Each structure stands twice: as structure tokens, then as C-alpha cells.
Amino acid sequence: MNGRKMMIAILMACTFLSFACVYVVLPEGLATPEVVEEDSASKVWNAVVTNVGTSQAGDLHVDISIRNDTGDWSAMQAVPEKPAVLKTSDGKTTNCETVFIGTGGHRLAPGFQMRGYTAKNGDQFETQLLYVECKGASAAAGSTISIEYISYNGILDDYAPDANSMEGTLELNLDEVVTDLVYPIASPVEGLIQQPDVSITALSDNVVTLLDTQRTETGLQFTWQNFNPTKFPLKTHIGIPPVIGTDGIIYGVYETLDIAPIDITPSNSNMEWTTKVAVPNDVKGLYILLSVESKKPRTYINYAVDISDK
């Protein structure tokens, strides 16, 4: 055995037999091993099947809940015009053209899970549950469904809304149906949840505060205050904040956050305004998914505000 082969053999033995060998310098001419960041594969969206049934048309219908395991605030949706794929245990595949998977444009807090969102259909608002339907198919034992998705993570910059995007695939085993999920928090994240009286620093050191939350006949009304400490009149945008509760539905239609009308806050003054969101009165355990304009215009940082006592 020549010197080069002996060195390789020693290094291989060290790698397999000694836990102390955590860094290996290979001889010139050998490829450097790929370094994989610990837990990097887990920073994705995940999903579970909550029901497998049949649609009114007799097609396979699969109800799904999605969970934000990216470690950051994130919006996601199934790749547009891309069917889900049903695969049976014998390898046969079927395209599933009906795919309603996503957050409805909203950024969901890390560790939260959901099963639907409010959608606007013409002049009407409706709850869009998350599901896939496969025409002419049935759920034989051992079947799986794969769904390609795209997510947008972290701080939202409305000048570059597609920044920080990531693609992935949800892999679902139709034999594994989960019926006891708890919404909206699947995995608590330390320091994520804010109390309702929190003062949030916004654009140009303005301070946004939730002054009051009231139940109404149709949902919730929030009273907000913005304090402007600067010498110039300013606006601080938060849009119309949605909420999510124990039924796993995001209530509130997503719109570009600076579209919602808001008054100017005069210099060194406070300004109050209200926003409303339609929520069934029997939905409890609510959190506001709040986006506050911060750092620079049309850039938003997200906060989960606890109003679970309302």
C-alpha cells in the first residue's frame, strides 16, 4: 500500500470509529464532503391529512391542515396550475387538478397550523378550507399525495413581494389521518406571542399600540393608536389585521397592506383608528396576525398578538 492509500485508509477509520474526528482534511485530489446545516431540512412547511372521503361528484376528497415549520413568519401556496399527484402502492399516479392549499396570502406565525382562510368571491366572503380532490380516483391502502408549493418567508417588502421565496413538496400518506389537531399553535416558539398592550416600534420610531378589542355582532373591532415622535406628519400602515383561533381558520381577506385607508399622525401626536374583521362569535382562542410597517416604507414586521380572552 503506497503512502496516499494508507492515509486515506487511516482517515476513513478515524471517521467511522472515533466520535472525536469531526473535521477531516482530505489529501489533495479528493472531493470535499458537502456540509449540511443541522436541521436545515426541517425548515419547511409540513401538512397532515385530517379526513379522506368522497366529494359530491364521487371523487376522492382529502382534507388537509398545513403547519409552518420554517422557523419564521411565512406565506405559502400550492404552485399555481400545478396538480397534486396521487400515487398508489403499485406506483400508478393520477393528477389531482383541484388543489386548495395555502395561507390566503397571509404570513402565518412559525409553529402555527391552519386548515382554511377567508376568500373573496365577487362581492361575497367565504371560508376556503384546504383540500385536494382527485377526479375519478379512490384512496386505496398505501396511497400518497404530493403537493408542490412555494413559500415567502420573513419580513415582507412590498417593493419585492417575491423575495425570500422557497419551493418545496408536501408528502402526505392517506393512511395516516389525524383528527385531534389543536389550533392554532402546534409548536410554541419562545418569545413569539405578544400581549395585547405591547407597544410596537414602527417606521420612523412611531409606536403602534392596540388600545381596545371588542366583540361585535359580526366579529371583532380593534382600536389602534399611533404615536409619532418626529417633527413631520407620517402614516404607519398595518392594513386590516386578520386573526386565527381554535378552529384553524384565518379570518380576514388579504390585501396589500397600504391599501387600507389610514389618517396621517401629526408631529409629536397620537392618532387613533379602528379596524374590523368578521369572525364567528363561537370562535375562541384568537390571535391577531399583525404586520407593522417598520424600518423603511412598505416593509413589514410581523407580530402574533394574544387576544384569546375575547
d(CA 235, CA 72): 27
Q: pLDDT tier at 202 (50, 70, 90 boundaries)?
A: very high
- Overall domain count for the chain: 3
pLDDT at 198 over 60: yes
Q: Do the domain assignments include residue 180?
A: no
Instruction: Report the CATH number that the domain containing residue 143 is assigned in CATH.
Output: 2.60.40
Q: What is the pLDDT of residue 97?
A: 97
92, 164: one domain: yes
pLDDT one-digit tens code per residue, 19-69: 333 333 333 332 323 333 334 457 899 999 999 999 999 999 999 999 999
d(CA 227, CA 202): 10
What is the mean pLDDT of the segment spanning 143-167? 95
In the chain, % of residues over pLDDT 70 = 86
Q: What is the pLDDT of residue 121?
A: 86
Q: What is the pLDDT of residue 1?
A: 47
Task: Look at 30-34, 109-113, 283-287 and tell me which has the smallest mean pLDDT.
Answer: 30-34
Is 147 within 8 Å of 78 (Cβ atoms)? yes
- Provide the domain limits for residue 287: 193-306
Compute the half-sphere exposure of residue 171: CA atoms within 13 Å on the CB side of its CA: 3
Q: Please, what is the Cα angle at 183 between 178 and 186, to 5 degrees?
A: 75
Q: What is the pLDDT of residue 10?
A: 43
Average pLDDT, the chain: 88
Residue 161: asked if its preceding bond is cis (omega within 30°), the reply is no
Q: Do the domain assignments include residue 165?
A: yes
Q: Do the domain assignments include residue 182?
A: no
d(CA 133, CA 229): 53
Q: Do the domain assignments include residue 186?
A: no
What is the mean pLDDT of the segment spanning 285-289? 98
In the chain, % of residues over pLDDT 90 = 82
Task: Name, in order, each residue with C-beta under 8 angstroms of 90's C-beta and a sequence gap of 6 or more.
Answer: none
> Cell 366583540, residue?
215
d(CA 120, CA 115): 17
What is the mean pLDDT of the segment spanning 67-88? 97
Phi, psi of 11 (to 5 degrees): -65, -40
